[in-house]
Every structure is written in structure tokens, then in C-alpha cells.
Structure 1
Amino acid sequence: MIKILANDGIHPDGKTLLEEANYQVDTEKVAQEDLMEVLPSYDAIIVRSATKVRKELIDACPNLKVIARAGVGLDNIDVDYARDKGIAVYNTPAASSQSVAELVFTHMFSLARFVHRSNRELVADDANFKALKKAYSEGTQLRGKTLGIIGFGRIGQEVARIGIGMGMNVLASDPMVDEADIDIMLYATKSIRLTVTVETVDFEEVLAQSDFITFHVPSVGRALIGKDEIAKMKDGSFIINTARGGIADEDALLEALKSGKLGGAALDVFVNEPTPNPELLQHPSVSVTPHIGASTVEAQANIGRELADKILEHFGALD
């Protein structure tokens, strides 16, 4: 029997598919420090971002054949080392694209109309309704603004699709992508499909021209946007990071927010999760969420089914 440890959980749809194929799927969480003892008896492990699968753990598990990541980023797995050892590594790059893209716009709307601040302040016991109405009466519309997208893979293209549909000017940058065809569905009395070709531009152009910049890249071990990059951005522009903590230098980000260089920032991911910098969290121009980009019912179901399909394809169904 194939034994799978879904250490960070798996959607019931995916679990059912695996169990129908006579796989054993265990979902009880094993602490990171205990995996060395527990994982050697398993053929596969399913993780999200919490569980780390590093060289030492891989070496301790000679029976391990599959490492599956319920999500996109693989920075919590020593991928090259695992593959060199003959272990297959899978992720789910398509399953959560829509959910992450929608969260990007949730934050953008929140920042543009001060929703994050209104929700904090209007519920206070001493809230002054008229004063708050006046303070937050100078919001901005997204239509007509320039949306910069750094990383133009599946998620970046989904962000572009929404932005174009809203009437935003889209600038995308990705060294691996020259252009992408973005399909847009319009619904009225009947559905109409339009295709818009977006050609990528230099990173520097995105910095200089964008009102909002959103990142959709894997971790590269360093910040892609720091003090020098922020200096090249428009005054009053916004940064959105739903990709990986550390893509934006948090110290430089906080400095730019304090000086007014940036109009605001939206963060779903942080350098020191699960205890991010409290000064950054509490800054009035920051909209935050606790790493929930892929955390919708639909995305988790898609992820569970996609992982199950890949694992089944790898091992095959059992009699």
C-alpha cells in the first residue's frame, strides 16, 4: 500500500481520490522536529508552506518517492537535491491563480478607498463619523491607473486579465516571457470573448510608470525591490506582495511609507512568519492578510484534486 503523509492537510476531494485508489492518507500533523522519525515509513509527503523538506530529512527517508507541494512556491523544499535522489517533486501552479489574483485586487481596492483604515477606526468607541468621512473622502479609482506586474506566469496573467477588464493599463515584466495572450470574457445579454496580447517590458519601466505594482515571482533569496527600486517609483504609488516574504525589503518599505514616498502597501506574506514586524503591520498605510492567497474553498479543492491526479499518475491505482 502507498502511504502518504499530508502533513499540512489536503482538501477532502483530493483525499477521497487517493483513498478510492487504495492509498493510505494520514492527515494528522507531525511536528517538524519529529518528521525524521515518522516520515521514513511513508512513500510520499504533501506539504504547504509550513513543513520544510530539506536535505537532512530527505537523506533520512530512503523510501520517499514523492514530495508534493499544495501550492506554487517550492522554497521550503530542497528541490534539486530531492530530484537528484530520484524523488519526484510536484506543485500546483494553476490551481490557485484565480484566488491569489482576486486577493491582489481586494487589497488594491482597500488601499485605494481606505477600507483597511476605516474598518479599524470606525468601530472604535470614540469614532467620529463625520471626521472619518472627511478624512477618507479623497480615495482613488482603479480604472485608468497603470498596473505593474512583476512575474508574468499563470498568476500574473490572471491579475492582468482582471486589470484589463477593469480598464487599467497593464505593464508586465518577466525575463522568461516575451508576451502573453490574455482572454477576457464579457457577460451581458450574451458572453463575448476578447483576446488581448500583452508584451512584457523592462523591470525599470514597470517601476517608473506604475501606480500599483504587484509581485508574482518565486523566492530568489534576496529582495527584488529595495530602497533603490522604490526611489524609481512614482510618488504615492503602491506595492502589493502576495508572493513570498522578502520579495520587498520590509525595512525599505517601512521607510518609504513613513516618508510618504509610497502611498501604501499590501502584504499577504512576510519575512518572519508567523510573527511579522509589528510596526509594519500597524502602519496606517498598510493593508495586511495572514498568508491567505490560495485560501479559498475553490482553490483548495482544485489543489487537492490536482495533487491527487499527479500522485496517482506517478504511482498508479492499486488493486
Structure 2
Amino acid sequence: MYKVVVCDNISEKGIDILKNEKDIVVEIKSDLDKKELPKQLGDADAIITRSSTTVDKEFLSYCKNLKVIGRAGVGVDNIDLDEASKKGIVVLNMPTGNTLAATEHTMTHMLNCLRFMPNANYELKYKHIWDRKKWMGIELFGKTVGIIGMGRIGTQVAIRAMSFGAKVIVYDPYIPKEKATRIGAKIVDKLDELIENADIITIHTPKTDETYNMISYDEIKKMKNGVILINCARGGLYNEDALYDGLKSGKIRALGIDVFENEPQPNHPLFEFDNVFVTPHLGANTFESQIRVAEGIARSVIDALKGRGYENAVNIKMEDEEISEIGRQFLGLAERMGSFLSQYTKSFIKCIAIYPHGEIEKNANSLMLFTTVGVLKNIVDEHVNYVNAPYLIEERGIKTQIKPFERSTEFKNLLVIDIEYDDDKHIEIGGAVFEPNKARIVFMDGFDMEIELSGNIIVFKNHDKPGIIGKVGEILGRHNINIADFRLGRRKDLGEALSFIKTDQEVDENILKEIMQIDGAISIAKVKL
């Protein structure tokens, strides 16, 4: 028998699913004082929580028998994932149950910004003013809706916007182009193209270093006058000070916002504008979504307890005895190599192929798993871990291949990863471990070099001629950017050089553009690890 304790209020539909399992005993503790709650979980096999229960280290110290934590929702900020992992507890969430609710909430904000419905309602209902001329709106039909990020929610918003007769353009470098074109949307390669052409912009990306303040002063300047902006995804994707300035100048016609950088947010400078429509993070707040989430997490908890699957897991304890000593040293390197490649390409990845050489060949499956986790962490709007990575890879149509290493090499153990992206482009890097805590990549696309994948890295390719590297250093110095490490590889057969430049701080895109103006520059990218 398994004991499942429900710690927070969830839909009865989910509780019924648990109760209908013959070998599961369900206890409802949602009304119990939160300080007293963990003391009664000593024999619980699984718990189900929402955001009201904080599952921290002290909480888990009482849970001697706990195997599974089910989070009835997406976010797991209230759960100490590291501590749960150390104790071998699998943490599950429900990333898809709120998709339709968040989609419809986005559309509600969009329509409010077009027609100013809340304002007209308030004036008529509470001020008793009948003024039709004041509330002249605009139509969604014929407008161009720009969608940044085309995951589950972004895709559903696109479909609904087109059903209104709107045109949809999409920016998401991490999806196959046919995903957008298949539903009738246009996908663009540059964010600026979307920004400059959209009448309405809605953002649906994860919050990462790349997307934080993704829309700021420079981006708003490039937008159409009278643009409408929507954010029902994550606080911090739009720079809130830049939004204020855009509203003050009249550049932004209206703003619909459900999320803020700091929450809860009972008061904000944006609230002073009548053309700003705000809600207190209500994207998932529908009865239907709460039922779906409760039913989904109940089934996931049952499957996890019975060993049938962990599709929505956000962590897992890796069993050390399954990995050789040298294999363990390569796992972290594999994950960093995957993260490096996805950041470097910033494109839809079609295929990940790994070529393990030496003793690490016996750990090929684990190396592939860690590589895919590294790749996915930068491109999906979900918690990625060693359980759900295979599901997410399959869902996004990315192929994975483990191949034998058939080249000569001086390295006893070597991991080569080849990424296929965009129009049959490839990039290949090789990594080796020289001693404990000394993992390095040793080549990239035929350029030999040795560098640790950590910190802020600029990857710069140029024609191999005198003076170029000096100019790069001069530009960085002029912008007060300190170089922490510099490695150079050369290919005389191509007449090209490849530099890895580690800096003490992240380098602004405008500085990268300045470097690309150097005569002889071929390409540049930045990576943060």
C-alpha cells in the first residue's frame, strides 16, 4: 500500500482518481497548520502540493519515507529540488494543464487592449456615463500579431489570433520553421523584423539570461507607433521602466500584463495609465485548468509510485554505481557542451549525435542524456532534468544518435558532439577530462584549442591575418570589459582563426556588433555557462 497526502486544496476530480486506486491510501491535510503538517508525513510515500506549502530542507527532514512530490501546477519555486534530489525523491509538476487557460487569458488581454472594455464597463456601471464616442476601438481583424516564443501557449495564441482574421508572425529560433508555417503563420529569422512589423506583440518565452529584458528601450523605439504589448508569460521579459517610457510618450497604445518582475505587486508605476490592463498572475486561474492539473498530477503520482513512468518529473537522483568513475567526470562536461552548442547556434536543432571514445563508451546513454539536458535548458519553457529530457527531445522533433568514434586521437577518453541545425548546417566540438575537475573542450570544427566551458565566453571567427585580435582587445578595453582568458585555434587550410574569449562580465550585443565591423570578421556569438 502507498500513502498519498494532499497538502493543499486541489480539485476533487484529482482526489477521486487517487481514491479509486486499490493500493493507495489518501489523506487530506490541506486544512492543517503548515508548521504542523510536516510532522505528520513521516510515513507518507507521496505528497501533492500547490504553492501554499513550502517544501524546504526542514520540511523534508520529517519525510522519512517520501518517494514522490507532486506539484499541482507548473512552478516548483516552493520546493527545494536539490534537497529532494539528495534524498532520492522525484518531484513532478504539470506543465501542460494550464495551457488553454493561459492562452485564453492572453487573448482576453489582447481584446481589452483593442477595445478598452474594462474602462467602458467601469464608466458606465459606476459613473453612469453613456459615452460611445470615447470608447472607439480597433479590430483584431487584419492586424499583424507578433508572437515571441512558439511553445505550447504561443502556438495556441497564434491559432486563435488567426481565427479572428489577424496575420501572425513568429520569432523563435529554436523551433523548426514548418511548425509555424504548418498553421499558416510566418516565421522570421530576426527579432527586429517582428518588432518593426507587428501591430500587437505578445511574448511566450521562458525567463533566461537571453530573454530577461528582451524587450527594452531600443526594441520599443523600433516598434510601430500605437503598438499593443502583452505579457502573460514571465515577469522580467519586458523591461518595466522601458514600458513606462513607451506609455508616457504614446508609443505604446495599450499594455496587457499579468506578470511582473517582482510579485506580489499591489502597486506599480504602470498602474497610473488608463491604457494599462493588469491582472494578478491569473493565467492559470480557471476551474477547468485546475481540474486538468489535479487529474494530471494524480495520475503522474500514481505512475511514479508504481514505477510506470516519470514524464513530468523535474528532477531525479542519478545512481552513481551505474556510471564509471571516468564516466561521472564526463557527465558534467557533456551537459555544458550541450548548453554551449544550443546557445552558440541559437537555432532549431534537428539532430544531436555523440561519439564517445574510450572507457566512456559504456556510459554512452548517460552521456547522451546529460547532453540533451544541456541543450534543452536554453530553449524550452519548462524545468529540464534527467527524467523529462527524453520526452521533451521527442516532443520537439529532435533526433538523437549514439555513434562509434572511428577516428584516430591522442586522447584516451574523448567525447565528440555533433549538432545538425537550420539548413543542414553542422557544428562539432570535442571534450576531454585530463584529471578530476579539469574538463575542457579540445577542439571545435577542426580548430584545436583547450578551454574550460564556464563563465562568459565570446566565440569569434575571423580571417587569419595580422591585427584583428588586437582590435578585438582594443574594443573590449574601450568598453571596460576585462579579458579573463583567451584561447586561439587556427586552420591554415582555410586561412581562418577561431578565438574563445572569456570575460569577467557579460558583453552587450552592441559591443559584439562593433567587433563584427572589424575587417576580416566572419562570425561572433556569446555564451554564458
* TM superposition score category, shorter chain reference: 0.7 to 0.9
Which residue of 1 is the match for residue 470 of structure 2? none
Summarize the Cα distance change of 1:71–1:219 in structure 2 as closer, same or farther, 3 Å threshold. farther
Structure 2 length as normaliser, TM-score? 0.51
How far is the alpha carbon of 1:59 from its aligned partner?
A: 6.2
Q: Spell out the pairing of 1:1-319 with structure 2 (5 A cutoff).
A: 1-21=1-21, 22-29=24-31, 37=39, 42-54=44-56, 57=59, 61=63, 63-79=65-81, 82-83=84-85, 85-125=87-127, 127-129=128-130, 132-137=131-136, 139-179=137-177, 181=179, 195-196=183-184, 199=187, 201-220=189-208, 222-316=212-306
Distance 1:69 1:204 in 2: 38
CA contact (8 A) 2:72 2:93 kept: yes
**Cα deviation, residue 80, structure 1:** 6.0
Larger radius of gyration: 2
Aligned equivalents of 1:275 and 1:107: distance in 2? 18
RMSD value over aligned CA atoms? 3.0
Paired residue type of 2:133: K
2: CA distance between counterparts of 1:70 and 1:170? 32
Q: Is the 8 A contact 1:18 1:25 kept in 2?
A: no
Deviations 1:113-170, CA, capped at 9 Å, x for gaps: 1112112222233x432xx322212x11111111122221111111111112222121
Q: Is the 8 A contact 1:177 1:200 kept in 2?
A: no
Structure 2 residues not aligned, in runs of 5+:
308-529
Q: Distance in 1 between matches of 2:188 and 2:72?
A: 29
Mean CA deviation greater in 60-69 or 210-219: 60-69
Look up the match of 1:188. none
Corresponding letter in the other structure for 1:123: K
Q: Is the 8 A contact 1:68 1:89 kept in 2?
A: yes
Deviation track 1:65-104 (CA, whole Å, cap 9, x = no partner) reads 3233323344444546644653323222222212211111
Q: Which has the higher contact order (CA 8 A, sep 6+)?
A: 1
Query: Could you state the TM-score of these two structures normalised by the residue count of structure 1?
Result: 0.81
* Contact 2:236/2:260, CA 8 A, preserved across alignment: yes
Percentage identity across aligned positions?
39
Going by fraction, where is strand more abundant, 1 or 2? 2
Displacement of 1:16: 0.8
Q: 1:37 to 1:209 in 2, by over 3 A?
A: farther
Q: The residue matched to 1:171 in structure 2 has which SS?
A: strand
Q: Which amino acid aligns with 1:107?
A: H
Distance 1:89 1:198 in 2: 38
Q: CA deviation at 1:312?
A: 0.8
Contact 2:68 2:91 in 1 (8 A): yes
Question: Residue type of the partner of 1:277?
Answer: N
Count of residue correspondences: 303
Task: Supply the AA of the counterpart residue of 1:11.
Answer: S
Q: CA deviation at 1:285?
A: 0.9
